[in-house]
Structure 1
Amino acid sequence: MRNALVVSCMNRAGYAGFRGDGLQEARPPDNATALPAGAWGYLGAEIAGVQGFHPPKRAVPAAAPAPPAGAGEAYDGARVDCDRQAAERIGAPPGPGADLLGRLFDDSIAATGQDPRVTAATGEWAACMAAAGFRADAPGTLPDRFRAGPEVTPAELATARADADCTTRSNLAGIWFGVLAGYQRQQIDRNSQALNAHREAVRAQDARLAGLLADAGSGPTP
């Protein structure tokens, strides 16, 4: 979004060849294994055997394109001005609802971790790991133990495979996410008015941003 607005602004400022100059849009993680383990245990036995607790290696980003011919003080000034205009047009996230969502999410995670169903499943997982020869009190301790090293080791792969197996045997992931969903449904019911207001604010912002993108796309082209 920001990139499209800056490109459109720079084109209007006379830099018809400007295509972003290294600006990158925010992108989601490459896949669900970017952070493969958490409080729920390891998800994905196939990845556990090759990746361990390390996130997948990402491709080295391409170098930013060189500034267009004639770039200089005027070009730099236009870039700064277009960045400012884009930030102003996008604006801040709508209302206090975003803070409420963050607080409710944090509360649901904390409640899930203390729930007797989750603590029992975590205990079963730990017993399974111990029987396999790996000592750990909870799945979340394993990434911290292994990710400090730059490369995946055979010991890490063996531990990750055991984690994946014990997560399945104890159904820790299924229990953890099921309990989390229950707490979050309760939060939705208790905060329905504020959450509905935030949803409408987000929809209104989405419509406004869609209009901005349409305006940016209708600008002059080289």
Structure 2
Amino acid sequence: MRNSLVVSCMRRAGYASFSGDGLQEARPPDNATALPAGAWGYLGPEVAAVQGFHAHRRAAPEAGAVPAAGEAYDAARVDCHRQAADRIGAPPGPGADLIGRLFSESMAATGKDGRVVAATAQWAACMAAAGFRAEDPATLPERFQTASEATPAELATARADADCTTGSNLAAIWFTVLAGYQRQQIDHNATALNAHREAVRAQDARLTRLLAEGDAAPAP
């Protein structure tokens, strides 16, 4: 939303080719293999066989128009960023901090839960039997991140990880336990979370209106 406001402002200021000046809206992964490993250690066998623990590489973005330069351009860009910040305003209340804290607490509780601990131990025993020493599926991928490409050793480890995660049912247990803790948190913090949801909806509506007004505004 912020980037859209800045782009709209810059184009009204006469910079029709401005497309964000390096700013990009957050995008979800383009496919299921973009982030192949998580805190629970899940890795699909197809991905493990060809990608290992390395994230999927996106295609290089197409080169866009070279942005304008000079004092007038810089001044307009700074002013548009300021206008966007002023129009968006502060985040809607303390709800975002609450959500972050609750998520961190749910992750910590899940990691300590006896069901997850037992499944992780079963996963580690399976990995050891396959010839790979590993105690924590979350840190296992870190061993291979210094290499630019997946090595044969990494692919073999990833395949064992996929097999052992399935055999121990670790992913299903981890998700089930995490969801349980998060449902409890939602119940215990329902009033604050509902208030935050309404604040976010109101801010989204305001930003949508601002974007429509910005697109329709005449150039200065």
Above 0.5 in TM-score?
Answer: yes
Could you tell me which amino acid in structure 2 is paired with residue 40 of structure 1? W
Provide the C-alpha distance between the structure 1 equivalents of 2:218 and 2:163, rounded to a whole number of angstroms. Answer: 57
Residues 112 and 12 from structure 1, CA distance in 2 versus in 1: closer, same or farther, beyond 3 angstroms?
same
Give how far 1:52 is off: 0.4
Provide the C-alpha distance between the structure 1 equivalents of 2:20 and 2:184, rounded to a whole number of angstroms. Answer: 44
Provide the C-alpha distance between the structure 1 equivalents of 2:55 and 2:214, rounded to a whole number of angstroms. Answer: 36
Give how far 1:120 is off: 0.7
Give how far 1:220 is off: 4.7
Contact 1:38 / 1:140 at 8 angstroms: preserved in 2? yes
Deviations 1:104-135 (A, max 9, x none): 00000000001010011111111111111111
Instruction: Report which stretch shifted further, 91-100 or 29-38.
Output: 29-38
Provide the C-alpha distance between the structure 2 equivalents of 1:181 and 1:90, rounded to a whole number of angstroms. Answer: 33
Residues 21 and 120 from structure 1, CA distance in 2 versus in 1: closer, same or farther, beyond 3 angstroms?
closer
Q: How many residues align?
A: 219
* In the alignment, structure 1 residue 28 sits paired with structure 2 residue 28: yes
Q: 2:202 — aligned with what?
A: 204
Q: Equivalent residue of 1:54, what SS?
A: coil
Q: 1:10 — aligned with what?
A: 10
Provide the C-alpha distance between the structure 2 equivalents of 1:176 and 1:24, rounded to a whole number of angstroms. Answer: 33
Give how far 1:64 is off: 4.6
Give how far 1:61 is off: 3.2
Residues 29 and 90 from structure 1, CA distance in 2 versus in 1: closer, same or farther, beyond 3 angstroms?
farther
Give how far 1:168 is off: 0.6
Matches within 5 A, 1:72-111: 72-111=70-109
Q: Equivalent residue of 1:41, what SS?
A: coil
Two-structure CA RMSD over aligned residues (Å): 1.9
Give how far 1:143 is off: 0.7
Q: 2:157 — aligned with what?
A: 159
Q: Equivalent residue of 2:133, what SS?
A: coil
Contact 1:11 / 1:220 at 8 angstroms: preserved in 2? no
Q: 2:119 — aligned with what?
A: 121
Instruction: Report which stretch shifted further, 193-202 or 88-97.
Output: 88-97
Give how far 1:5 is off: 1.3
Instruction: Report which stretch shifted further, 52-61 or 108-117.
Output: 52-61
Give how far 1:95 is off: 0.8
Could you tell me which amino acid in structure 2 is paired with residue 185 of structure 1? R
Provide the C-alpha distance between the structure 1 equivalents of 2:92 and 2:71, rounded to a whole number of angstroms. Answer: 36
Residues 17 and 33 from structure 1, CA distance in 2 versus in 1: closer, same or farther, beyond 3 angstroms?
closer
Q: Equivalent residue of 1:38, what SS?
A: coil
TM-score, normalised by the number of residues in structure 2: 0.91
Contact 1:11 / 1:18 at 8 angstroms: preserved in 2? yes
Give how far 1:76 is off: 1.9
Give how far 1:199 is off: 0.8
How much identity, in percent, do the aligned residues show?
77
Give how far 1:20 is off: 3.5
Q: 1:177 — aligned with what?
A: 175
Contact 1:21 / 1:65 at 8 angstroms: preserved in 2? no
Contact 2:34 / 2:57 at 8 angstroms: preserved in 1? no
* In the alignment, structure 1 residue 149 sits paired with structure 2 residue 186: no
Residues 142 and 16 from structure 1, CA distance in 2 versus in 1: closer, same or farther, beyond 3 angstroms?
closer
Give how far 1:37 is off: 1.6
Instruction: Report which stretch shifted further, 90-99 or 197-206.
Output: 90-99
Provide the C-alpha distance between the structure 2 equivalents of 1:45 and 1:92, rounded to a whole number of angstroms. Answer: 44
Could you tell me which amino acid in structure 2 is paired with residue 140 of structure 1? A
